[in-house]
Structure 1
């Protein structure tokens, strides 16, 4: 019951509020700020995309070349250690 009274008093507190009128030049000020922002040229976007592509391909190549080397190294190591199947 008390909670409903409190909710109603909060809702009723907004009845006497008048709307605030914004400054007439506010919209033009906001538009000018948006126009002043720097725009990145397409040249730099392509440079960044090419850089990411090169880095991705280099990482891809390094990962797969390392996995091939490690498989061969482990096979050589395993064959050199274990000459027979005897456990003792």
Structure 2
């Protein structure tokens, strides 16, 4: 079986920021990266196999994606996890 997921090492501080929902940058960074990648919300939702409202909530900061979703978002937007988080 081929593993298609890229892994990165996160520090404990990074994990606390993600898990605790304290990263206010994820919403802003996600929207900016999505737009600069040329995707609309529907495109990204379809690529991620999630609802449009999920992407909207991520971009508005009312919902924080879990670490697996952040990794997949980074892959879809051709960036690294840190660019989404910080």
Normalising by structure 1, we get a TM-score of: 0.20
The structure with the greater share of residues assigned to helix is 1
